[in-house]
């Protein structure tokens, strides 16, 4: 029996024989609105496991390290064990979602430069948007770490925006999480998948991400399969 270390909404984390490595299992569950909307979607775990793996490999190729080690089964991957920094780092290239709602800017309006936002990882509070001063007050990260998070998030944006663009997809926005390794180095962690990105088809503006589930726009697996196929993935689901 694998020893379960943590169970989140979309993933389970298990212990391995190596104290520096954990196993991540991608679940078939879809959740939105802080867990208020929930569904089991068969095949979602496999799709996100493969998509995340391909994107972390692409980033590595471009010199951006992450916790990712390797995909070991349809739904599982090995990653370096890190202590997650309790912040969600969101990068936006085009207005959408909570940004559009909060600021009254129409969805789809391009932004003149990428915008970085920080949200506190706290389910009980509904992951509130926080300023740099809030982060410092809460000791969620130091000023130096905030600078690193921002720089790394923008680097990821540059690589993934141009990569997706080559595949006929616009990277509208996405959320990253970072962790610290035992040496205190900040490493990109968690996942990068259609669960955590907004991805719109360049020609049709069709949504190929979790908004399909959040807004009941059709089949989530069809949308995620389109992303995987364009990434050159092998999974036939
Ligand atoms: O909802 P909002 O517009 O703030 O989301 C911005 C981006 O961050 C979207 O791509 C969304 O999928 C992602 N996100 C996420 N996890 C959250 C909140 C947002 O992956 N808890």
Cα–Cα distance, 138 to 121 (Å, whole number): 12
DSSP labels, 157-194: HHHHHHHHHHTTEEEEEEEEEEEE-TT--EEEES--ST
Return d(Cα 52, Cα 40) in angstroms, integer. 19
What is the rounded CA–CA span in Å between residue 140 and residue 89? 12
Q: Is the CB of 100 under 6 A from ligand 1?
A: no
In the DSSP assignment, the letter for residue 3 is P
Residue nearest to ligand 1 atom 11, measured at CA: 196
So what's the pLDDT on residue 1?
77
| pLDDT of res. 237 | 44
pLDDT tens digit sequence for 64-122: 999 999 999 999 999 999 999 999 999 999 999 999 999 999 999 999 999 999 999 99
Whole-number Cα distances in Å, 168 to 61, 92, 164: 20, 18, 6
CA of 175, closest atom in ligand 1: 8
pLDDT in tens, 25-66: 999 999 999 889 999 999 999 999 999 999 999 999 999 999
Above pLDDT 70, what percent of the chain?
Answer: 99
Model confidence pLDDT, tens digit, residues 144-191 = 999 999 999 999 999 999 999 999 999 999 999 999 999 999 999 999
H/E element, 152: helix 143-166
The radius of gyration of the chain from alpha carbons, rounded to an integer in Å, stands at 17
185-219 tens-digit pLDDT: 999 999 999 999 999 999 999 999 999 999 999 99
- Give the atom of ligand 1 at the shortest distance from the alpha carbon of 96: 3
Output the CA angle 151-156-161, nearest 5 degrees.
130
Q: Does pLDDT of 236 surpass 70?
A: no
Give the closest residue (by CA) to ligand 1 atom 19. 175
State the DSSP H helix or E strand holding residue 130, giving kind and residue range, or none if neither: strand 129-130
Cβ 207 under 6 angstroms from ligand 1: no
Q: Which residues of 137-153 are buried (b: 16+ CB within 10 A; e: fewer)?
A: eeebbeeebbeebeebb
- CA-to-CA distance for 114 and 191, rounded, in angstroms? 20
The average confidence (pLDDT) of the chain is 97
Residue 46 and residue 232: Cα distance in Å, rounded?
15
Mutate to test the pocket of ligand 1, among 33, 172, 173 (most ligand atoms within 8 A of CB): 173
pLDDT at residue 235 greater than cutoff 90:
no
What is the 98 CA–ligand 1 centroid distance (Å)?
8
């Amino acid at each position: 029996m694998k020893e379960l270390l943590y169970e989140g909404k979309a993933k389970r984390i298990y212990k391995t024989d190596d104290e520096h490595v954990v196993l991540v299992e991608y679940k078939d569950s879809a959740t939105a609105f802080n867990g208020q909307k929930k569904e089991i979607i068969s095949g979602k775990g496999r799709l996100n496991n493969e998509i995340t793996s391909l994107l972390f490999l692409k980033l590595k190729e471009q010199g951006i390290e992450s916790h990712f080690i390797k995909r070991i089964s349809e739904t599982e991957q090995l990653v370096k064990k890190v202590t997650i920094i309790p912040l969600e780092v969101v990068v936006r290239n085009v207005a959408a979602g909570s940004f559009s709602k909060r600021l009254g800017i129409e969805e789809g309006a391009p932004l003149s430069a990428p915008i970085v936002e920080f949200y506190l990882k706290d389910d009980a509070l509904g992951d509130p948007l926080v300023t740099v001063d809030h982060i410092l007050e809460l000791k969620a990260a130091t000023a130096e770490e905030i600078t690193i998070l921002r720089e790394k998030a923008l680097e990821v944006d540059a690589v993934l925006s141009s990569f997706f663009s080559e595949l006929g997809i616009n990277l509208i926005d996405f959320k990253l999480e970072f962790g610290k390794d035992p040496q205190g180095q900040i490493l990109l962690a968690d996942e990068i998948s259609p669960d955590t990105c907004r991805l719109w088809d360049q020609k049709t503006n069709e949504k190929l991400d979790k908004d399909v589930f959040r807004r009941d726009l059709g089949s989530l697996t069809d949308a995620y399969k389109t992303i995987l196929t364009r990434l050159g993935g092998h999974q036939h689901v």
